[in-house]
Chains A and B, each alone.
Chain A
Amino acid sequence: MNTEMVKPRIAVHKFSSCDGCQLAFLNAGPALLELAELTDIVYFAEAGSLEREVEIDIAFVEGSISTPQDLTRIKAIRENSAYLITIGACATTGGLQGLRNLYASNTRDWTGAIYARPEFIETLDESQPVSSHVKVDLELWGCPVSTQQIMTALRALLFGVTPGDDRDKICMECKRRHNVCVLITKAAPCMGPVTRTGCGAICPAYGRDCYACYGPAENINAEALATCFEGLGLLPQDIARRFHFINCNAPNFKQAGTIWRNKS
């Protein structure tokens, strides 16, 4: 590559999240050094703040928008960033903490139930995906995202091409890995048939059912899978929980889970 080229400036931001997705950078090993050569890392929440308010080329955003401060900050970041990528379930769908959107009729009720002094809690009513508030250029799904997803997207951007978006079902990857299907042999309620690939079908490779941490794949039939789970002996509330989990606010998971929650 042309070494004369100006290095793109990148930033990694954190919102409401567990910091796990940022580890995809920190665990990258030698690739992280490579990245530091190829780009100018101007801000990285987990690794200690560098500069924060400057113009950048590629912003990675981890975490959901769940406080008024989050809201102000994500708008500022968007204004300063040429290309914005959400990393992980929280930033992309609102995350596990988005369960509160489904189960709390009133935010005050549950802050009151949990905290001794709820008046100090300042929060939005919902935990929302970044895309609810600003334009997102690329979504990287997963809980957490993998180093490979991030590096593949970055490499494509460095080449000046649009990063690919693999939305196939986990089952495709599962069969390529020669896993024996746990749904067929053990009646395990595997979410693979509705879940987006990207993890490499890790859970079925260890004999357990996928729990959809990568969110919905393209063209899913959630109702048919839910009916299949019912046939495997799951109760309606258990079926609802398969969908109302890490990516509970992805619209088609939300809808499928709600249908079965209402049956219970």
Chain B
Amino acid sequence: MTRGTLLNLPHAALGSLLAVLRQQGYNCIGPVVRDGAIVYRRVHHVSDLPYGWHDEQMPGTYRLERSNSPRAFSWAVGPEALKPLNFASGETLWRAERNHEGQIQFEETLPAAQPTAVIGVRACDLAALQLQDQHFLDGPYRDPYYAARREQLFLVAVHCTHPADTCFCASTGDGPQAEYGFDIEMYESEAGFLVAPGSAAGEAIVGELQLSKSNDSQRAIAEEEVRQAARKQTRTLPSQNLRDKLLASLDHPHWQEVAKRCLSCGNCSSVCPTCFCHTEHDNPALDGRTTEHVREWSSCFTAEHGDISGKPIRVQTHLRYRQWLTHKLGSWHDQYGRSGCVGCGRCITWCPVGIDITKEAAAIYEAQLS
């Protein structure tokens, strides 16, 4: 839909947006400070939002600081994206029971998802959500568990003005301005928010709020702040399509070099908003009559991920790191028509040893050129 006129929502009126969402039956989730990070959790009141909180992120480091800024969204993405809201980190896919005649009966365990509004979604995470939608919903095998939750989501984007040192969404073309995938978009400034609906559902909510129109100069200032956020980013990927370079470099010595530092811990793929790998297993009850079939997040950094018919094909770390990078930035293009990286920087911040995907990709890329 075409971009609507931006409307004024003063800081003091943010609570009315939450109230309308709640009236319409949405459970509100938003950024809150928990255990030293900004994470998405249930928001009961606007005062739960991280007013004045800023993050300092570096490879392998995340710290929060507080100022007296009136803003609630002056931070870059925390450890969790929208991913866990749709693709559960662990869930039962079905149950089975053996009855007294010895027959096995299956029981479906589809989630009963509630309408959920997420406040403060970033452009990078919306881009990642589109990739997860492609993976879980498009094609012949639609994932009903993911779909049940995804269909209930209402997304309120806040354009990013505070990228972290680890962010590079401008380089991947996925931010800091959110361009699609939201129901409402908002710009935050010292004075308040400029708001516009992005979908029919968003229009219904914004329509309830009776907001005044903003003027052109307000829009210009807000947009300039987001453009500045793009200019603040220092990291870049060498190209938006590294597929051919990476796949031609499978024997490059740099994989071994990364493996000296890499812990093969899988934190990068767990925090990555686009990674979708999982493992499945059964949890039979001790009496052997009932069982639950469970799906959990997994990663190409585990041994099991490279287990083909009992034969481990990626025993060493350099092969696992190579799988991560050549899938994320390489074969993802074949599967989904673009790279699997949206530049959120999470894998850099939340890697215990601070391995930086932009540097490793550049090392392979440059070596190819020379």
Question: A and B bound?
Answer: yes
| A interface list, Cβ under 8 A from B | 1, 31, 34-35, 38, 151-152, 154-155, 158-159, 164, 167-169, 171-172, 175-181, 183-187, 190, 192-194, 207, 218-221, 224-225, 227-228
Contact with A along B28-53 (1 / 0, CB 8 A): 00000011110100000000000000
**Residues in A whose Cβ lies below 8 Å from that of B264:** 169, 219-221
Q: Are A224 and B267 in contact (CB under 8 A)?
A: no
Q: Are B296 and A176 in contact (CB under 8 A)?
A: yes
Stretch at the interface among B189-197, B201-209, B298-306, B357-365: B298-306
Query: In whole angstroms, what is the CA distance A168 to B35 when docked?
Result: 25
Chain B contacts of A181 at CB under 8 A? 62, 79, 267, 350, 352
Asked whether any CB of chain A lies closer than 8 Å to the CB of B93, the reply is no
Give A1 to B289 CA distance when docked, in angstroms.
Answer: 7
Q: How far is the CA of A169 from the CA of B352 in the complex (A)?
A: 13
**Chain A interface mostly:** helix
Q: Which of B109-117, B157-165, B279-287 lies at the binding interface?
A: B279-287
Q: A169-B266, A180-B34 are in contact. Are A175 and B297 (CB under 8 A)?
A: yes
Is B265 positioned at the interface, with any CB of A under 8 Å from its CB? yes
Min CB gap B58→A, angstroms: 10
On whether the beta carbons of A167 and B286 are closer than 8 Å, the reply is: no
Question: A180 → chain B, closest Cβ, in Å?
Answer: 4
Smallest CB separation, A111 vs chain B (Å): 39
Q: Is the CB of B80 within 8 A of A193?
A: no
Inter-chain CA distance A172–B320, complex, in Å, is: 15
What are the residues of chain B within 8 A of A152 when measuring CB–CB? 283
CB pair B262 A175 closer than 8 Å: no
Q: Is the CB of B89 within 8 A of A185?
A: no
User: Which residue of chain B lies nearest to A192 when distances are taken between CB atoms in the complex?
Assistant: B265
Extra pairs beyond A31-B286, A184-B79, A219-B264 (14, CB < 8 Å): A34-B287, A38-B286, A155-B285, A155-B288, A168-B304, A175-B297, A177-B89, A178-B84, A179-B35, A184-B352, A185-B37, A219-B315, A221-B260, A228-B352
8 contacts between A and B (CB under 8 A): A35-B286, A151-B286, A168-B304, A180-B34, A193-B265, A218-B303, A227-B353, A228-B353
Interchain CA distance A172-B89 in the complex, whole Å: 10
Q: Among B63, B271, B281, B316, which residue has its beta carbon within 8 angstroms of that of A175?
A: B271
Give the chain B neighbours of A151 by CB distance below 8 A. Answer: 286
Contact partners of A225 in chain B: CB under 8 A:
263, 352-353
- Given known contacts A175-B89, A194-B263, A180 and B288 CB-to-CB distance under 8 angstroms: no
**A207 vs B262: C-alpha distance in the bound complex, in angstroms?**
24
Chain A's nearest CB lies how many Å from the CB of B177? 28
* A184 with B350: CB separation less than 8 A: yes
Contact between chains at A193 and B299 (CB < 8 Å): no
* Nearest CB of A to B106, in Å: 18
Cα separation A218 to B312 with both chains bound (whole Å): 12
Whether B261 and A224, one on each chain, are in contact in the complex, defined by CB atoms closer than 8 angstroms, is yes
How long is the Cα–Cα vector from A207 to B232 in the complex, in angstroms? Answer: 33
Check if B284 sits within 8 Å of A159, measured CB to CB.
yes
**Is B90 in the interface zone, CB < 8 Å from A?**
yes
Instruction: List chain B residues, Cβ under 8 A from A34.
Output: 286-287
Choose from B60, B284, B302 the contact partner of A168 (Cβ within 8 Å).
B302
B273-295 interface with A by 8 A CB criterion: 281, 283-289
Instruction: Verify A219–B350 contact, CB threshold 8 A.
Output: no
B35 is contacted by which of A1, A155, A180 (Cβ under 8 Å)?
A: A180
Contacts A38-B287, A219-B317 known; A175 to B267 CB distance under 8 Å? yes
B61 within 8 Å of A by Cβ? Answer: yes
Residues of A contacting B315 with CB < 8 Å? 219
B234-270 contacts to A (CB < 8 Å): 259-267, 270
How far apart are A233's CB and chain B's nearest CB, in angstroms? 13
Known: A38-B287, A178-B84, A185-B37. A172 touches B297 (CB 8 A): yes
Contact of B90 with A183 in the complex, beta carbons under 8 Å: no
Give the complex CA separation of A22 and B285 in angstroms: 21
Indicate if the CB atoms of B60 and A184 lie closer than 8 Å. Answer: yes
On chain A, the residues within 8 Å of B262 by CB distance are 221, 224
Chain B residues with CB under 8 Å of A35's CB are 286
Contacts of A192 in B (CB 8 A): 265
In the complex, what distance in Å separates the CA atom of A1 from the CA atom of B90? 28
- Rounded to whole angstroms, the CA-CA distance of A169 and B297 in the bound complex is 13
A31 to B303, CA, bound (A): 32
Q: B215 CB to closest chain A CB, in angstroms?
A: 41
Q: Measured between C-beta atoms, what is the minimum distance from B262 to chain A in Å?
A: 7
Q: Is the CB–CB distance between B281 and A164 below 8 Å?
A: yes
User: Given A169-B265, A171-B265, are A184 and B298 also a contact pair (CB < 8 Å)?
Assistant: no
Out of B61, B63, B281, B286, name the residue touching A154 (CB < 8 Å).
B286
Distance, CA A34 to CA B284, complexed state (A):
14
Residue contact B317 to A221, C-beta cutoff 8 Å: yes
Residue B132 interfacial (CB < 8 Å): no
| Chain A: minimal CB distance from B128 (Å) | 16
Chain A residue nearest in CB terms to B284 = A155
Closest to A187 in B: B61
B326 interfacial by beta-carbon distance below 8 Å: no
Chain A residues with CB under 8 A of B350: 181, 184
**Contacting residues, chain A, for B89 (C-beta < 8 A):** 175-178
Nearest opposing residue in chain A for B64, CB measure: A185
**A181 to B37 Cα, complex, angstroms:** 9
Bound together, the chains give a CA A190 to CA B265 distance in angstroms of 12
4 nearest A-B pairs in the assembled complex, by CB-CB distance = A175-B270, A185-B36, A180-B35, A193-B265
Closest to B315 in A: A219
Inter-chain CA distance A154–B267, complex, in Å, is 31
